[in-house]
Structure formats: structure tokens, C-alpha cells
Amino acid sequence: MTKQHSQPEADEKVGVYVCHCGSNIAKTIAVQDVAEWAAGQPHVTVARDYKFMCSSLGQELVEQDIKDQGLTRVVVAACSPHMHEKTFQGACERSGLNRFMFEMANIRELDSWTTNDREAATQKAKSMVSGAVERVVHHKPLEMLPVHINPKTLIVGGGIAGITAALDIANAGHHVYLVEREPSIGGHMAQVDKTFPTLDCSACILTPRMVQVGQHPNITLLSYSEVEQVDGYVGSFTVRVRKKARYINEELCTGCGDCVEKCPSRVVDQVFEAGLGYRKSVYKPFPQAVPKYPVIDPDSCTFFQRGKCKACELVCPTGAIDFAQKDELLTLEVGSIILSTGYDLFDARRIPQYGYGRLANVFTSLEFERMVNAAGPTEGQIVLRDGVTQPKKVGIIHCVGSRDKNHNEYCSRVCCMYSLKFAHLVRERIPDAEIYNFYIDIRASGKRYEEFYHRVLEEGTHFVRGRVAEVTDAARMPGEEGSLIIQVEDTLIGKQRRIPVDMVLLSAGVEARSDSQEFAQKFGLGCDFSGFFIERHPKLDPVLTMSDGIFVSGACQGPMAIPETVAQAGSAASQVISLISQGTLMMEPIRARINPDQCSGCRICNNLCPYNAITFLDDQKISQVITAMCQGCGACVSACPSAAITGAHFTADQVMSQIEGLLWDMRETIPLEAV
Amino acid sequence: MKYSYYPGCSLERQAGAYHQSALAVAAPLGIELVELEDWNCCGAIEYIAVELLPAYALISRNLALAAQQNGKGGNQLVAPCSACYLNLSKADKYMDDSPELAAKVNTALAAGGLNYTPGSIRTRHLLDVIVNDIGFDKVKEHVSSALTGLRVAPYYGCVAVRPGFHDHFDDHEYPTSMDKLMQVMGAQVVDFPLKAHCCGGHMTQISQSVALELIRRLLKNAHDYAADVIVTICPMCQLNLDAYQESVNRHFGTDYQIPILYFTQLMGLAFGLAPEELGIGKEFIDARPALAKVGQVGEAAAGRTKRDKKALPMPRMAGEV
């Protein structure tokens, strides 16, 4: 490629500021040396080093120089632009310089933090400063783009996270669409009997909130619905939602439940009852379901399967049964989106040596939650799979699928506490039971969690430290016959133990939803290796995502218990409310533009754009960028074979000059013509 | 499909029935087993326990031969014996991980004019080949006299499924591939919780009481589940359970009479081959009384009991509706 860059104005005056960042940079880079060297570079009028450029005094230094020395461009060599680009752009603006006449060289994350070699680090810092200077002289003043924020919000997932966020936003006076995949909102919390460590009844604290959601004038509840497609950008998303056919006319249904009672078809409820109980083919997951309308499950309904029955239609007093109902496609216009899609329980069948599904009296934690729930299949009786026998010995195995390299390496954070809760509930209902907890470590770091652990210890529950090798019904020694034997190395006494019990509870871990990857793709989000949605910053921006206007809350972001989930949901709601209050958002004008004279109409860029921001103008046979939807990623710019696309603030001039600047110390060895 | 075949020493001696039945069922399934020319012992566990380098050199000679004779059997080496399978894949994996070890082994191999590039031969267990390369559907087509009524306890032993250096062809702790294979043969597979536990291995020679206890557990477990026959994939397991069964009975005062057969022998029977073609009759515990049950539907079918109304539903397993 020959060098054809436009020459910058000869009288550009660049100020260079090298930050010490305390000792973060200065420890590894000779900052004074870099500043002195920079002062002698082309275009540079003034170069300084300073202890903390981001401090008020550091910013004032820049502002003063712009005024006194007439600087036209500014370079700050400091940390990542993610941290302080906006800080220094503000300083430029305050002194009357366009905010885009600024460039940041990241000599901390990309240099001083990566090495202990002072000489090499200093050399690299000079290169990065040189690149920034060469680039900044090509910068053009740009204006921010105002974006109007639609005050309506979409929340996906109606568990405790979605419910909390929906109520917070609705109470602030803004409209919310709450989309839930299942027939009722409530999520996993509705399945649980008691919550740790306070042991208050889960339904008692949850259902009032569910009722509020159902009745709130600012909330449109779309249950039994799923998001199919999302287009647009912060402030203006278009969302397509499929409202699955309930086969019940919601206008007419009173929720009386006659149809449920008369339905002759009964199947195992794999969702709400976790496979431990039954439901009818026309069903409400649980009595307090919101909304109150039942759903007909066509896969098991006698009419849908065999063409006759219609018992429900016969008994319905309002004629609300509608076998001909079809899925409905809705289009929603919203400004912000909160994802609160929750988690899946680790499938205990994946650890076959624990016998789940094979040995009748091995139960998962969710099955046990339903069992101890007074509204569950056994009405709260703790019994073996035969439905009548009370267990005398119960073994609770922790970390099933968690802290395990074969499955999930992370800690699921909730299992220790709910296992302790199980031990307590067994003790409460079967006072003379022998209860064993098999644990790796007890993780009880939460408000009043450790106290609860001690309470369970004092109740006489046994704690065996070690990962269980297997659960078997193969009796080896007298006294083992008819029991489930838990084989474990007790690591505190250093011995193998075989402990016969009647009932085994598997404390299965928390996993990302099995479809979280494709779901994330719909919203333009990323997932980590485990499938949880990636937040913008794990500490400072835990509910923001890399997509503006899309927030996450609850266990879809990582394993967490109810208190953290509710806190996150509140945080996401306040982010949304803050966005709505701003009314208009100023967006960086870093967008692509297609030069119509150069576009050949090849359409390569059309499918490449991850944001569907490029349309093809059929009449003119050229492509065009929809500025509002463009995110400035640059994919089209680099792909265009006729170089017809320019990315504002990332023009060929700017990028090529920066590269040349970076290679300043090679200039003498490589003739420019060869570049 | 063509494979190099490494029978190993046991299949030439006490496990001749395995050799015979493996070849007998491979043919109709289209598995062409080309025996490796001039193969040598894999060293079993003795060599590795004494000195590693000569052991790896000894094992790798077979891999080098397989690579050299590549044209004859493809780049896959099938070992029916679990110990051979383990040793061959272990040597390959360790050499792959350590270029230093590979160089030393190759220096030794060079004395015989051989050389081996780690990773170039894929060692497979015969069960893996039948289950995953041929597949249950294809195998099912050859079943002409199903093993209906025969209760089999599938015994994998501890070596074949773990640690799984290259191919994790089944779960390490609770394998199920042979269970499914035996179901395809029409047999009634009993749950056999000790299916991947140890048979005692060479402990019969070192500390017999330890070995007898381990064997007793397996026999007791199979007996508790009313298995007619234990089916194995390893000559060591077959030998221990079969040849030492009387010792167990004497030692513990029990009276187990459970025949131990190779999975290929039962496959052969289901394929309609004659017992003599499959080496049946060579076992110490006579298999004939158990095999006489084949075709007697009564007991197995009667096993279906009506579920108690009060009972809670069992978890749904994969493949169930």
C-alpha cells in the first residue's frame, strides 16, 4: 500500500500528558523520560508527567494548557479509555475543545501491568504515545448523537428478580411488559417451601408480590410467552413476542378451576412439581398462580391426542375453552430491557454413581423442596418413594455438580445453606432422625447464615467432610441390607466410611439455562464459559451489559440466593428508571457511513452487520447504514472491497497514522515506500 | 471397517474363548480385524510397577508396529483386553505429553529399526468399536435368537472405562454401553451397582484374602440381583470371578454358581452361532444351566408389578417418555 494519507494541518498543537497513576505506571515506566522525549516529537507543543492525571488538579493542567498555549489536540497516556476517556474529554470540552480532539494511550493495562522490564516498558510507552500523537492530529471534530428513550420497559423472566424489577419500575410510573415462559410467574421461589436462614414461608412472602404484578395498571403481564426476536438499540428496541396458545379465552375465564377438576387426564408434572407430583392436562401450576387462567397442554390432552373428550368445555360455566386458539405474535416497542431468566438445576442423572433415577430413594433438592412443601405432592410429609415410609436416616450430599472439574468448577453458593435448611426441616418433622451432611466446605457467608449453621450443628446433625464416592444399594456388611450406602472418605479422620441411610438428598448446583447461549445471541449479549450472561463489570457494573439499554439481574448472571437477586433486580430497575429520567441519551457518533459514489452494491456488508443496521436500497442498488442502529463495530468498514465505508473516528488516515506512530523507532530501518 | 488387532497374551491362553468369540462376532458385523504381526506382551502391570522406561518401550513397540503395518489395518488398534487397552493408550498419551519420554522410547525402538510418533495410532477397546462404530441399530439386525429371559449382570471392571486417556467411550463411574448392548441382545439387564469396581486384579497372587473379598462382593451383588450370568469385557475379570469362585465359596462358606462369560460370547449366541464356535464350555463354572434359561419368558415378564397408588413417581430418565 502506498502512503496516501492526508497531511495534517502544519500548525496543530498537541499537548501530551503522562500519568504516574501513583506507582501503578511510574513503578515500571520512566514517565519523566517519556514526557521529555514526547516534547521533542513532531506536532507536540507541551509534554508533562503528573502523579494523578485524573485528579482535579491533573484535569486543570490540561484545561490551563489549552487556554494558555492554544493546544488544538490532547493526548493522555494513562489507563484504559474505559476508565477515564470521558473524564479527559470533559476537560477538553470545558476549555472549548471538541471532545473528539482527544486520544488516550493505555500505558497501564497494556504496558506497565504486563511486565517488570522497565526499559522495554518505557520503550513501548513511547511507541504508544507516538501512535496517539500521530493519530490525534487526524481527528475531526464530531457531534454527539441524541437518542430518545422510550419509557416502556421489557422484562424477560417472571421469577423473583423479574417481579421485583417490574414492581420497582411500575411504581415509578413507567410501563412494563413482563414476559414469562411458564403459565405463571413466581419462578423457582414459588416451588420452595421455606427460605434460609429465617425459615419464613416462601409463598407467604412471594405471592403478595405476584398479586401486585397481576393487578398493577403499569404492568402488562405476558405469561406463557417467549421472546422471539429483538431489533433496535438503547431507547428504541422492537421486540417480537410469541404468546403461546393457552386454549383458554382469558377474557371469559374466571379461574374457577372446574375444568381442572373434571379433566380425566393426569400426567407427571416435570416442571413445577419437579417430577414428584401430578397435574391435569388442563392445569394451573399451583393454586396462587398469576395469572389465574389455566393452560391446556396439548401433548397430553385427550382431545388433542385422540380427538374426543372435551370434558373441560362441557363444564366451563363461561364457555372459555377454545381448542382452536392459535399462538399470537406481538410486537412491543420498548426503550430498555431487563433479563432475569434465572437458572436450571444441575441434572443429577449426570453423576450416575449417585444413583438418581436408578435408586428410588435418592431425591434431588428440588424434589425435596416440593416434598416438604405443605402444598406439595405429599402435603409436607417426608416419606420415601413408596409414599408412606418415613426415613430414619437421611444423607444430604453437597456440591452435586458444583466445585467439580468434571461438571462445573464454580461454587453454586446456595446449596450449603439449603442443605442446612433441609437438615433442619428433617429434624423438625422427624425428631429422632439421624441426619448426615456430606460437605467439602460449609460456605455460610451471609447475614445470619453462620448462626443458622450453628443452630443445625447443635440440633445434632452429623457433618462428614468429604466428597461422596458413590451411593449404592449393594450391601457388603451386615446391617447394610435394604439401605442406601453412602461411601465416602471422611477427610477429617482420614478414613473411608460406609454410612447406610434410608434416604439420600442430592444438593444439585445451579447452572445457566440450557438455552442461554442462543438466548443471549438474540439480545446481542455474551455468555461466559458456564453460560451465564456477562455483566459489563463484575464489581462496578454488575447489572449492565455490553449492550446499552440491556440489563441483567438474578441467577442468569451467576449463582445467587434470593437476597442478592432482589438487590440486583432493584439495581437494574434503578438503572432503567435513570435512563428513562434522562429522556434523551447522547451517544458517541462513532458510526459507519457508506459513500454512495463508491458503493458497488455487492451487499457483502449486509449480512455481516451484527446489528442489522445496513439496508440495501433496491432502486439505487447500493447499501446504506441506518445511523441510529449502527454500533460502530467496524466490521463492514474492513470488509468493504471497494473501501466505500468509513467509520467515523476510525478513518483509514487515523488508523494508518497511528500504526506508523507506533512503529516510530523502526522508521529508519524500513523505507516508507515499503510500508 | 478395518482395524489392527492386538489380541494380547491372555487371549492366546486362558482367554481363548474371548479370542474365538470376538472373531466370530466381528465377521458378521463387518469388523475386519487384522492381527498385528510380531506383536509382544503389553507388560501387564508387572513391568510398569518395576521400571517405567523399559515398560513404555515394550508397549510402544506394538504401537510402532501398528504404525508400520498401517496399510493393513488403518490407524486404529483394537485391544479386547482391558489391561492391554489401558497400557497401549497410556503409553501413547504419556509420550504425547512428554517429548522427552517419546525420544527415549524411540531410542530404544531404533535398536529394532522402529519408530513411533505419539498420537498416530488410536487404541480402541473392542466394546467401544462395537457400540460406537457399528452401533446398536446395526448390531440389532444380526440378532436372530434373542437372549430372552436371561438375567445378565454387566461387569466392566475398573480399567476399561477409567481413566480414559484418549476416548471417553463411557462414563467412568457408571458405564452403560454394555447394558444397552445386552438389552439389544434381548437379555434382561439387572442393575449391577458394582459394575465398575475392582475384581482384585493380580491380588490373587499377592494377597489372596484381599482378592477373595473383592470377588465375593461382586458375586454377592450379582446374586442379590438374581443375575443368571455375569458378562465381562476383560480376561482378568473373567479369570478372577470364574477360577476363584470356588475359593470364595470355601473361604466364606457361600455357594455361588454364577457363570462368567465374555460379552462377545453372549453376542454370538444371540447371533445364532453355536456355543462351540464361541468357546462356551471352557469356563470353570458351567454356563449351560444358566443358558438353558434363554427363551423362558416367564420370570422376566412377571417382574412387572403394578405400581402402588400412593407411591411417588420415579424420575424420568433419558429416552423414557
Q: At A493, which CATH number?
A: 3.50.50.60
Looking at the structure, tell me whether residues A265 and A353 fall in a common domain: no
Place of cell 468509513: A646
Chain centroid to CA A28: 36
Cα angle at A247 between A243 and A250, to 5 degrees? 75
* Nearest-by-Cβ selection for B310 from A355, A388, A470: A388
Q: What is the CATH number of the domain that holds A600?
A: 3.30.70.20
Looking at the structure, tell me whether residues A363 and A384 fall in a common domain: yes
3-class secondary-structure state, position A379: coil
Instruction: Look at residue A413 and tell me if it is in a domain.
Output: yes
The answer to whether B316 contacts A268, with C-beta atoms less than 8 Å apart, is: yes
Nearest CA to CA, how far is A360 from chain B (Å)? Answer: 7
3-class secondary-structure state, position A360: coil
Give contacts of A378 with chain B, Cβ < 8 Å.
312
Contact in structure between A240 and A229 (CB atoms under 8 Å): yes
* Nearest-by-Cβ selection for B313 from A275, A388, A474: A275
Can you give the pLDDT at residue A606? Answer: 92
State the ipTM, two decimals.
0.86
Cα gap B64→B53, rounded to integer Å: 16
Burial of A376 (0-12, 13-18, 19+ CB in 10 A): buried
Looking at the structure, tell me whether residues A270 and A315 fall in a common domain: yes
Q: Within a 10 A sphere around the Cβ of A487, how many other Cβ atoms?
A: 16
- Residue A478 in this model has a pLDDT that exceeds 90: no
Instruction: Kindly compute the dihedral angle of the four CA atoms of residues A186, A188, A193, A198, in this order, to the nearest 10 degrees.
Output: -90
Burial of B6 (0-12, 13-18, 19+ CB in 10 A): buried
Listed as ranges, residues in chain B with pLDDT below 50 are 299-303, 321
Cα gap A357→A349, rounded to integer Å: 7
pLDDT tens digits, one per residue of A21-73: 999 999 999 999 999 999 999 999 999 999 999 999 999 999 999 999 999 99
Looking at the structure, tell me whether residues A238 and A318 fall in a common domain: yes
Contact in structure between A513 and A519 (CB atoms under 8 Å): yes
How many residue pairs from chains A and B have C-beta atoms closer than 8 A? 61
Q: What is the CATH number of the domain that holds A94?
A: 3.40.50
| B146 vs A: CB within 8 A | no
Can you give the pLDDT at residue A3? Answer: 44
Contact in structure between A486 and A505 (CB atoms under 8 Å): no
3-class secondary-structure state, position B234: coil
Can you give the pLDDT at residue B310? Answer: 85
Contact in structure between B152 and B231 (CB atoms under 8 Å): yes
The answer to whether A385 contacts B314, with C-beta atoms less than 8 Å apart, is: yes
Instruction: Look at residue A483 and tell me if it is in a domain.
Output: yes
- Residue A275 in this model has a pLDDT that exceeds 80: yes
Domain total in chain A:
4
Give B134's DSSP letter.
I
Exposure string over B240-257, b if 16+ CB within 10 A, otherwise e: bbbbbbebbbeeeeeebe
Cα-based distances in Å from A441 to A346, A417, A560: 19, 11, 18
- Residue A4 in this model has a pLDDT that exceeds 60: no
Nearest CA to CA, how far is A362 from chain B (Å)? Answer: 10
Q: Is A331 left (phi over 0), alpha (psi -120 to 50) or beta?
A: beta
* Strand boundaries in A541-595, DSSP class E: 550-552, 584-587, 592-594
Strand duo A510-512 + A343-345: pairing:
antiparallel
The answer to whether B313 contacts A388, with C-beta atoms less than 8 Å apart, is: no
Looking at the structure, tell me whether residues A40 and A162 fall in a common domain: no
pLDDT tens digits, one per residue of A100-113: 999 999 999 999 99
What is the grid cell recorded at B276?
Answer: 462351540
Residue A71 has φ and ψ, to the nearest 5°, of: -60, 140
pLDDT tens digits, one per residue of A587-630: 889 999 999 999 999 999 998 988 788 999 999 999 999 887 78
Strand duo A282-283 + A295-296: pairing:
antiparallel
Give contacts of A357 with chain B, Cβ < 8 Å.
314-317
The answer to whether B316 contacts A275, with C-beta atoms less than 8 Å apart, is: yes
pLDDT tens digits, one per residue of B52-90: 899 999 999 999 999 998 776 678 999 999 999 999 999
Can you give the pLDDT at residue B166? Answer: 65
Give contacts of B311 with chain A, Cβ < 8 Å.
385-387
Cα angle at A204 between A386 and A293, to 5 degrees? 80
Domain that holds residue A606: 592-647
Looking at the structure, tell me whether residues A282 and A245 fall in a common domain: yes
Exposure string over B277-295, b if 16+ CB within 10 A, otherwise e: bbbbebbebebeebbebbe
Looking at the structure, tell me whether residues A107 and A214 fall in a common domain: no
Shortest CA distance from B221: residue in chain A: A474
Residue type, B191: D
- Rounded mean pLDDT, A344-353: 96
- Sequence ranges of chain B with CATH classification 3.40.50.11810: 143-300
CATH number of B2-126: 1.20.1050.140
Give contacts of B193 with chain A, Cβ < 8 Å.
355, 470, 472-474
* Nearest-by-Cβ selection for B316 from A270, A277, A385: A270
Least confident segment among A7-16, A211-220, B172-181: A7-16
Strand ranges across the sheet with B229-232 = B188-189, B151-155, B229-232, B260-262
Give contacts of A349 with chain B, Cβ < 8 Å.
315, 317-318
Give the CATH fold of the B143-300 domain: Rossmann fold (3.40.50)
Strand ranges across the sheet with A73-78 = A44-50, A14-19, A73-78, A102-106
Give A327's DSSP letter.
-
Give contacts of A277 with chain B, Cβ < 8 Å.
312-313
Q: Is A470 left (phi over 0), alpha (psi -120 to 50) or beta?
A: beta
3-class secondary-structure state, position A356: strand
Residue type, B166: H
CA atoms within 13 A on the CB side of B254: 21
The answer to whether A276 contacts B318, with C-beta atoms less than 8 Å apart, is: no
Burial of B221 (0-12, 13-18, 19+ CB in 10 A): buried
Instruction: Look at residue A95 and tell me if it is in a domain.
Output: yes
Cα gap B162→A405, rounded to integer Å: 16
Instruction: Look at residue A30 and tell me if it is in a domain.
Output: yes
Strand duo A592-594 + A434-439: pairing:
unpaired
Looking at the structure, tell me whether residues A328 and A355 fall in a common domain: no
Can you give the pLDDT at residue B321? Answer: 44
Q: Which long-range contacts (CB under 8 A, 24 or more apart) does A310-314 make?
A: A311/A259, A311/A262, A311/A263, A311/A264, A312/A259, A312/A262, A312/A263, A312/A282, A314/A262
End-to-end alpha carbon distance in chain A: 7
* Nearest-by-Cβ selection for A476 from B174, B217, B317: B217
Give contacts of A300 with chain B, Cβ < 8 Å.
none
Among B192, B312, B320, pick the best mutation site for testing chain A contact (most A Cβ within 10 A). B312
Contacts for A307 with CB less than 8 Å, ≥ 6 apart: none
Residues present in chain B in total: 321
Contact in structure between A590 and A625 (CB atoms under 8 Å): no
Give contacts of A364 with chain B, Cβ < 8 Å.
315
Shortest CA distance from B213: residue in chain A: A476
Shortest CA distance from B215: residue in chain A: A476
| B297 vs A: CB within 8 A | no
Looking at the structure, tell me whether residues A556 and A500 fall in a common domain: no
| A391 vs B: CB within 8 A | no
Nearest CA to CA, how far is B174 from chain A (Å)? Answer: 6
Burial of A165 (0-12, 13-18, 19+ CB in 10 A): buried
What is the grid cell recorded at A56?
Answer: 482535579
Three-state SS annotation for A19-58: ECCCCCCCCCCCHHHHHHHHHCCCCEEEEEEECCCCCHHH
Cα gap A372→A389, rounded to integer Å: 15
Looking at the structure, tell me whether residues A384 and A447 fall in a common domain: yes
Name A397's bridge partners: A438, A506
Can you give the pLDDT at residue B300? Answer: 46
A609 vs A438, residue with greater confidence:
A438
Strand duo B76-79 + B2-5: pairing:
parallel
The answer to whether B313 contacts A474, with C-beta atoms less than 8 Å apart, is: no
Query: Closest Cα partner for B186 from B125, B139, B225?
Result: B139
Cα gap A501→A426, rounded to integer Å: 14
* Nearest-by-Cβ selection for A352 from B174, B194, B310: B174
Residue B205 has φ and ψ, to the nearest 5°, of: -90, -20
- Sequence ranges of chain B with CATH classification 1.20.1050.140: 2-126
Instruction: Look at residue A212 and tell me if it is in a domain.
Output: yes
Chain centroid to CA A260: 37
| A470 vs B: CB within 8 A | yes
Can you give the pLDDT at residue A286? Answer: 95
Looking at the structure, tell me whether residues A246 and A107 fall in a common domain: no
Name A370's bridge partners: none
The answer to whether B310 contacts A356, with C-beta atoms less than 8 Å apart, is: no
Contacts for A668 with CB less than 8 Å, ≥ 6 apart: none
Please report the sign of the dihedral spanned by the C-alpha atoms of residue A70, residue A75, residue A77, residue A81.
positive
Which of A109, A125, A143 corresponds to the end of one domain?
A143
Give B132's DSSP letter.
I
Cα gap A282→A299, rounded to integer Å: 11
| B255 vs A: CB within 8 A | no
Contacts for B309 with CB less than 8 Å, ≥ 6 apart: none
Residues present in chain A in total: 675
Q: At what angle do helices A562-582 and A160-171 cross, to 10 degrees?
A: 30
Give A632's DSSP letter.
-
Contacts for A619 with CB less than 8 Å, ≥ 6 apart: none
CA atoms within 13 A on the CB side of A613: 23
Can you give the pLDDT at residue B297? Answer: 57
3-class secondary-structure state, position A75: strand
* Strand boundaries in A513-670, DSSP class E: 550-552, 584-587, 592-594, 614-617, 622-625, 645-647
Cα gap B140→B186, rounded to integer Å: 9
The answer to whether B314 contacts A356, with C-beta atoms less than 8 Å apart, is: no
| B202 vs A: CB within 8 A | no
Looking at the structure, tell me whether residues A427 and A500 fall in a common domain: yes
Give A271's DSSP letter.
S
Place of cell 434373542: B146
Contact in structure between A443 and A453 (CB atoms under 8 Å): no
pLDDT tens digits, one per residue of A232-249: 889 999 999 999 999 999
